[in-house]
Amino acid sequence: MPLINDDGGGGGDDDDDMMELIPDLAIYTILTRLPPSSATRSKLVCKSWSSMVSSRSFARDLHAARPGPSLLPPPSPSILLFDGAARFPAAVVDERGAARLALRRWRAEAREGYSVQNCCGALACLRSGQGSAELLNPATGGCLQLGGDRAQDRDTRTAAEQLPWYCLGRCGGEQQCYKVVRLDVRLPYNGRPHVTCEVCALDRDALRRRQWRWQEVAVLDVACCPTGRGVHIGGVVYYLVDLVYSSVVSFDLSTHVFGHMDHPGTADGMVASLSELDGRLCASMVPAGVLDSCGDGGARNMDVWVLTGDDENGGKRWTHKYTFELDGTARHVPRPLFVTGDGMLVMKCADGSLCHYDVWAKSGSGSSMDDGEVLVFQHKSSGRRMTGTTADVFVESLLPLRTILKGN
């Protein structure tokens, strides 16, 4: 709200004079109530604010201020939109589409294949343009290179664009450390093609030595090559092995054991994608005809299933959650991200835009949402729709990246 002078006028130099009268402690307290990405952006306001946000104590005070009682509403989920071909590849927005922070390219390198593989907690796992793994704190722009590019043994690797494939996760139990999984297809001169699975453990010893060692833990058949992005939930990494084949592969980060399960689309011609929805594995199922239809009157329903732990034998089973109508074009097939506090299911469209559906409009499990999508954020770059944009939900933190990895 603008300050008003005693004579009824407003603005001018008197506003700057009044700003100087605000105690630094009050400004500091206000800054600690901001989302971390907004606090990072506020460093551009003036040198005083930049000094406050850059201080060692600020990240700790901001972290302590978030969980406690506050007159402010609880922080909304943060979404990382990433397009490796853009000048500002990373953008942080909230559930309403309000932009909080845009990150400039922090390194000059090949843009082809530069993408976010997944998010885990406050960190994002990236595949660089050279095919190596990289961790990013989207709220601060801090990054950590893990290596693992294809410079060595290049002739035995496939040239597929989606490989090597990475997924970041965190082990539970006694290990309590982050791990990055890498899958790649090898084409040996004397032998059958196969998939190698390697793991890089980011434990305290590795962080102290600053050496990242990739350990090969399994050799798989080429049928286990991932066809989509990985999802980490509860110490387990999940991925699809074929878009039209009813199988989901799981990998336990603690035991390094693989498993298989059917996805809910048992019928032929179903296209699936995986994501995390409210802490559970989510499978979005669309009939293959929807991807090719464009106003031809074909089926245009999308079913959302979640993996629950209430099977009769104590295992897990798929539970149908939502059904809603699509507009029939491939670029509008959404990917569920999260459900807001007011009952809006936020989706990421294939063109980089965000939309939401009202899940409270019709109550009950498996409710049908036929009211259509509501566009809340339309992402553009240089006048074109960002078809290569990925969207991931993460937890903002101003803590240094290595501190996050240590679990402090």
Is residue 6 in a domain? no
Whether residues 292 and 397 share a domain: the answer is yes
CA 15, chain centre distance (Å): 41
What count of other Cβ atoms lies within 10 Å of the Cβ of residue 125? 24
Whether residues 47 and 124 share a domain: the answer is no
Whether residues 294 and 393 share a domain: the answer is yes
Q: Which residue has the tokens 């990289």?
A: 134
Alpha-carbon torsion (265, 271, 273, 279), positive or negative = negative
* Domain total of the chain: 2
Is residue 5 in a domain? no
Tell me, what's the pLDDT at 365?
Answer: 42
89 token code pair? 């590849």
Q: Quick check: 390 and 81 in contact, CB under 8 A? A: yes
Whether residues 19 and 111 share a domain: the answer is no
Tell me, what's the pLDDT at 3?
Answer: 24
Whether residues 23 and 124 share a domain: the answer is no
Is residue 194 in a domain? yes
Whether residues 42 and 136 share a domain: the answer is no
Is residue 7 in a domain? no
Bridge partners of residue 370, in order along the sequence: none
CA distance 48 to 356: 39
CA distance 325 to 270: 15
Tell me, what's the pLDDT at 10?
Answer: 41
Is residue 319 in a domain? yes
Question: Residue 393, SS3?
Answer: strand
Tell me, what's the pLDDT at 295?
Answer: 43
Whether residues 52 and 115 share a domain: the answer is no
Is residue 71 in a domain? no
Q: Quick check: 356 and 340 in contact, CB under 8 A? A: yes
Using alpha carbons, select from 163, 212, 214, 213 the residue that is nearest to residue 187.
Answer: 163
Whether residues 152 and 254 share a domain: the answer is yes
Is residue 23 in a domain? yes
Q: List, run by run, the mean pLDDT of 10-residue segments along the chain (408 residues).
A: 33 51 75 78 80 77 58 66 81 77 66 83 89 89 78 53 87 84 85 89 88 91 87 93 74 93 71 87 78 49 83 75 70 74 80 76 46 56 55 86 83
Q: Express the helix, strand and coil content of the chain in percent, nearest 5 each.
A: 15, 35, 45
What count of other Cβ atoms lies within 10 Å of the Cβ of residue 38? 20
Is residue 103 in a domain? yes
221 token code pair? 């058949």
Whether residues 61 and 147 share a domain: the answer is no
Whether residues 19 and 118 share a domain: the answer is no
CATH number, residue 303: 2.120.10
Whether residues 267 and 390 share a domain: the answer is yes
Q: Which residue has the tokens 């909080």?
A: 100
Q: In what order do the strands lie in the sheet with 178-186?
A: 165-170, 178-186, 194-202, 214-220
Whether residues 33 and 175 share a domain: the answer is no
Provide the residue range defining the domain that includes 37: 13-65
